[in-house]
Structure 1
């Protein structure tokens, strides 16, 4: 009977040992990939922040273009006034003045459209960065959990070896 118990203990401890070693190896692999994933997610967050910075720079350029549009509109208005004063001789200049004002209005409209598009890009990028932050937190939790499981598996493997030693002593 003791030999049978000893054999069962050996068998069980070997199965436990093999299972825990496999699980430990898998958990170490999961931990490794979690670290890599965390690194990639951090990189994406960094790039998202750069996109936001660049959209702010384009905002400055758009402010300049908007100022040029306003000034062009004023120049076109002044040119229209001067063309009207010139009477019959200013009709050709009045057409040019009208086109300048039209271009100024179109520039102002285009700047507003671009600003709206940039605001949408900023909002979407902010949401992406927020999701990335959440993914980073989950990745860190996964890494800690996998480290904990790997540690527990190592302790279980050690316990299986201890059971095997006891079986040898029977």
Structure 2
């Protein structure tokens, strides 16, 4: 896993973010949690009852997301996620919707830059998410759904090792 300096904490210093920026920040924290293998960021970005349907893998709840997907990717694969074209709708004081595009580059831990021609798996997807404002004033993602449009490279990079 690549560590690039000291990652920013979940709670940023400075004045509070607007609700729209705070919802976007929940998205950024969720994907940075994978890129930085930082469970604090994951926990700060999703609810305990989060429902995800990402890359054709469905998870119901934080523990299932962490155990079935997040641990495999964040510990075995170096990733960089690029989020763009983000649009946030604050529907009520405590609910919001967000859409964005994401491109993700995946490679075997430590091999992406060390071996310049190393195998990678790159994807492009659209995301639709629901967010809620929780007691602490944080915005967290409650539903995350992706529509993966394309992929290139070796998809086998993403498969967890077989248990024997």
More helix by share: 1
User: What range is the shorter-chain TM-score in?
Assistant: under 0.3
Higher relative contact order (CA 8 A, sep 6+): 1
* Structure having the higher Rg: 1
TM-score of the two chains, using structure 2 as the length reference: 0.19
